[in-house]
Amino acid sequence: MTIRFEDPNRPNSYIGRTVPRPNAGRLVKGRGRYVDDILLPRMVHVAFVRSPYAHARIAAIETSQAKSLSGVLAVFTGRDLAEVCTPWEGRLAHLEGMKTPPQHPLAVERACWVGEPVVAVVGRTRADAEEGAAMVEIEFEALPAVTDIRTALDPETPVIHEAFGDNLCFRKTNEKGEVDRIFAEAHTVVEESFKTARHTGVTLEPRVILADWSEAEGEMTVHVSNQAPHMLQVLLASHLGIPESGVRVICGDVGGSFGVKVHVYPDEVATAAIAKILGRPVKFSSDRLEAFTSDIHARDHEATGRIALDETGRILAFDVDDWTGIGPYSIYPRTSAVEGLQVTNLIGGPYEFDHYRCRTSVVFQNKGICAQYRAVGHPVAVAITEGLVDKAAAQMGLDPVEIRRRNLIRDDAYPRTTAAGLKLEALSHHKSLDALIEAMDYEALRSEQASLREKGVHRGIGIASFIELTNPSPFMYGIGGARISAQDGCTVRMDPDGSVVALTGVTEQGQGTEAITAQIVAEAVGVSPGMVRIVTGDTRVTPFGGGTWASRGAGIGGEAALQAGRAVRGQVLAVAAAMLQANAKDLDIRDGIVVDAGTGAERMPLAEIGRIVYFRGDTLPKGLPRELMQTRHFLTSDYPYAFTNGVQASYVEVDAETGFVKLLKHWCVEDCGRIINPLLVDEQIRGGIVQGLGAALFEEICYDEAGQLLNGTMADYLVPMSGEMPDMIIRHVETPTAESELGAKGAGEAGTAGAPAAVMNAINDAIRPLGGSVTHMPFTPERVLRAIGAIGK
């Protein structure tokens, strides 16, 4: 039996409805349980002494003064922890030629970025540990720092890791067709340089871990604010020499993640290692200052790109040279090459063309480590693509909507493989663009823009089409040898009273995993969502899974939940059929009651099934299966990724005297396949858009030439706040994937992927009559003003 999604009046029709999140009621009362809220008996705190140098040799470490403090219990150096913890290398076998050196939980011989942990101080309280950390004296011998991206490979630039001979971590060119010939012969060629600033995630809850080693039980219990508990379980086990079954990772409430909390961090591994040495619970709660230097950074791309078009405005080719600096180590275990790799895959993604070249060069620097962060690579690729498309449109006198209509891949042209090699199942670019034009009343907005321009008001409209990678298969990481699970599982159990517990391998960070899983299981079993209790984030009890990243929770975890729920339903109906002397296929479960499928007549409540199965199993035929707990796993296999698509528009006003940009309104039409909970999808999109708006206007990690971080507080790394953000109109097109019965693709990153490009194009639309354009993010008032020549370049 399949679910008739097209019928909103079908029984148990919870999939597709706005249902409030079960955990929201708890969080709004202040009853969350984040890791820093947890206190354990004998718990101590660790603080880290971090390198003040971008690159330095560690000559000597003096810890006696720190150890003499009454509140300090122990001090550890890199050599101390190297004895209990093996180093790691963030490398994937399928990324040919990739280099990265071994990394330890605490720096051993050299510190390679400002903020790298060097010494760990354990104290009774965080204040005690900090006081001790302030007393540790480290003699550093400064080494030359590499900070610039474009000169990192120059012969005169010092090499950070001598054994490698250069500062190249990874380089790849993705090429198809006759790029050079096409560009030589094309009617129109447009070229531009782009820059996306270095960002960091600024999760409101900083990273935090509480590790507890029980020697007696041989068990490490780790409470941690993380997105991928099973990944962490496996890696902690491996590096600390514990069987995987002896490591229990618990991720309760997580105060925001966005990719920041899907990586292995040296200070967190150090905390677990120290817990193993001390045999007592150790907590590390990052403060905001160390978050800026030790959380992963991202983006930091510089690119030059060109686009070739024929005389009708048809796109013929893209050619992009992308560079990115990733800090001194590739992140573990996902690697820091993936953002660049994504750029080589995603350029030109929405468009029909045959000739393609994109090279990415991933270089080492003495700055914070860059890694996967919400919408990995997408904002970079979309900005380059859409910036080039808009510039070409302007040069050819085409309206931005018209050039897109002429070039977006036709909605009936799927499945297809793009010039960049992406396998696309089914997308809806044209339908989405039509919906956007209608939602924003494009023509009316254009005439408003024109009439205001006559009054000296400079408004601009920017459009950005995009594709988003979701539901990754093992082709993303597993193929390269990383122990990151692309499959996910769900266990569904019916309790005796007919209520249901579902344990899922995907995790909750506020996006609504628990709510959508409850909806899916409720519909699959045939109970109301209120009767479904969801358990996430505990490796001891949930099926092995990948967790939440790359917008996989709904598409992969959701399908596993659907199948597990339906399996329980099947068992319930088999038991009911035996009890009722009926045929199982003539029965259904609706709102917790077994009914006749045809008439809807009530036959028996689930509580009666539960009573018989659990307490009076003797009354059922011997050998009748009555497994009211079922586990199913799901893995995508037809396509390496389920791509989604969408289009955003931004409406801005530029103050030509000050360069200030006011965001007036924002629109997004998005196709994430089957929508499970419209409210939650909308809010994912909105939150993602604002993260992209931050990228466009505010966010930039700044280092000086010596590798010193210049803006490591929330007072000077500017995140988007409510005062400057616009209202956002969200619309949907639904093209379900045929890979799964549920048909859901991901929706978590679309907002972030497209927003920066939309704003860039809007600003440039506004200032084009004044001359100049902006392509280097963030578009600060000063950069905008310099672009229009109101002050010197």
Residue 427 makes CB contacts below 8 A (sequence gap 6+) with 350, 409, 411, 414, 467, 643, 644, 645, 671, 735
Interaction with other proteins in 454-513: which residues (CB under 8 A)?
A: 509-512
Q: Are 606 and 572 in contact (CB under 8 A)?
A: yes
- Considering only 4, 10, 37, 181, the residue that binds other proteins (CB under 8 A) is 37
Using CB under 8 A, pick the residue from 1, 163, 204, 216 that binds other proteins.
204
658-697 residues near other proteins, rule: CB under 8 A: 658-660, 679-680, 683, 686-691
As measured in angstroms, the least distance from the Cβ of 703 to other proteins is 10
Q: Count residues binding other proteins (CB under 8 A).
A: 80
Site string for other proteins, 246-285 (x = CB under 8 A): -------xxxxxx---------------------------
**Three-state DSSP class for 496?**
coil
> In sequence order, what E strands does 557-638 have?
587-590, 593-596, 602-605, 629-634
Interface region with other proteins, contact rule CB under 8 A, candidates 264-272, 443-451, 481-489, 651-659: 651-659
Query: Before 333, cis peptide (omega within 30)?
Result: yes
* In the complex, minimum distance from the CB of residue 255 to other proteins, in angstroms, rounded to a whole number: 3
Note whether 727 binds other proteins by CB under 8 A.
Answer: yes
Q: Is 754 in the site for other proteins (CB under 8 A)?
A: no
Rounded distance between C-alpha atoms, residue 294 and residue 584, angstroms: 57
* Nearest-angstrom CA–CA distance, 563 and 566: 5
Of the candidates 65, 78, 75, which has an alpha carbon nearest to the alpha carbon of residue 137?
Answer: 65
The residue range among 91-99, 197-205, 340-348, 646-654 that interacts with other proteins, by the rule CB under 8 A, is 197-205
Binders of other proteins among residues 289 to 318 (CB under 8 A) are 289
How near is the Cβ of 637 to other proteins at its closest, in Å? Answer: 31
Q: Does 724 bind other proteins (CB under 8 A)?
A: yes
Between 251 and 401, name the residue whose CB sits nearer to other proteins. Answer: 251
445 versus 790: smaller Cβ distance to other proteins? 790
Binding of residue 130 to other proteins (CB under 8 A): yes
Radius of gyration of the chain from Cα atoms? 27
Which positions from 608 through 647 interact with other proteins, judged by CB under 8 A?
none
Residue with token string 């040799």:
57
Distance CA(671)–CA(429), nearest Å, equals 9
Let me know how long the chain is: 793
Question: How far, in Å, CA of 644 to CA of 422, rounded?
Answer: 12
Q: Does 790 contact other proteins by CB under 8 A?
A: yes
Q: Which helix (H) or strand (E) holds 304?
A: strand 297-309
CA-to-CA separations, 94 to 91, 334, 335, 615, in angstroms, rounded: 9, 12, 11, 54
The yes or no reply on residue 714 touching other proteins (CB under 8 A) is yes
* Closer Cβ to other proteins, 35 or 389, answer by number: 35
Site for other proteins in 728-747 (CB under 8 A): 728
Can residue 202 be called a binding residue for other proteins (CB under 8 A)? Answer: yes
Q: Which stretch binds other proteins (CB under 8 A): 201-209, 231-239, 401-409, 440-448?
A: 201-209
For other proteins, the closer of residues 593 and 701 by Cβ is 701
Task: Give SS3 for 515.
Answer: helix
Q: How far is Cα 572 from Cα 614, in angstroms, rounded to an integer?
A: 12
Cα dihedral 86→92→95→100 (10° resolution): -20
Out of 6, 8, 9, 29, the residue judged to bind other proteins by CB under 8 A: 29
Which residue of 20, 97, 218, 769 would you call a contact of other proteins, by CB under 8 A? 20
Report, in Å, the least distance between residue 719 CB and other proteins.
6
Amino acid occupying residue 119: V
Question: Can you tell me the distance from the alpha carbon of 122 to that of 220, in angstroms, rounded to the nearest whole number?
Answer: 18
Element (H, E) at 453: helix 442-454
Residue 214 binding other proteins, by CB under 8 A: no
For residue 292, the minimal CB distance to other proteins (Å) is 10
> For the purposes of burial, counting CB atoms within 10 Å of the CB of 297, is it exposed (0-12), middle (13-18) or buried (19 or more)?
buried
672 closest CA partner among 488, 529, 516? 516
Segment contacting other proteins by CB under 8 A, of 129-137, 552-560, 615-623, 634-642:
129-137
Q: Does 722 bind other proteins (CB under 8 A)?
A: yes
Is residue 28 at the binding interface for other proteins, with CB under 8 A as the rule?
yes
Q: How far is the CB of 200 from other proteins (least distance, A)?
A: 11
Q: Which stretch binds other proteins (CB under 8 A): 108-116, 182-190, 577-585, 657-665?
A: 657-665
SS3 string, 691-745, reads HHHHHHHCCCCCECCCCCECCCCCCCCCCCCHHHCCCEEEEECCCCCCCCCCCEC
Q: Which of 124, 248, 288, 776 binds other proteins (CB under 8 A)?
A: 288
Strand partners, 77: 119
Out of 11, 32, 144, 772, the residue judged to bind other proteins by CB under 8 A: 32
Report 554-593 residues binding other proteins (CB under 8 A).
Answer: none
User: Which of 126-134, 354-362, 458-466, 599-607 is the region at the interface with other proteins (rule: CB under 8 A)?
Assistant: 126-134
In whole angstroms, give the CA distance from residue 196 to residue 300.
5
Least distance between other proteins and beta carbon 52 (Å):
12
Q: Least distance in Å: CB of 14 to other proteins?
A: 16
Among 23, 366, 449, 465, binds other proteins (CB under 8 A): 23
What is the C-alpha separation between 11 and 455, in angstroms, rounded?
58
Which of 142, 716, 769, 789 is in the footprint of other proteins by CB under 8 A?
716
Does 705 bind other proteins (CB under 8 A)? Our answer is: no
Which of 309-317, 338-346, 718-726, 769-777 is the region at the interface with other proteins (rule: CB under 8 A)? Answer: 718-726
Token pair of 404 as six digits: 């897109």
Scanning 31-39, 467-475, 530-538, 545-553 for contacts with other proteins by CB under 8 A, the matching segment is 31-39
Which token pair is 489? 């599982």
Identity of the residue, 257 or 345, whose beta carbon is nearer to other proteins in the bound complex: 257
Tell me how far apart the alpha carbons of residues 494 and 572 are, in angstroms, rounded to a whole number: 9
| Residue located via tokens 């972030």 | 752
Per CB under 8 A, 421 contacts other proteins: no
Sign of CA pseudo-dihedral 601, 604, 605, 606: negative
Q: Pattern of binders to other proteins over 86-125, x per CB under 8 A? A: ----------------------------------------
Tokens standing for 131? 């006081």
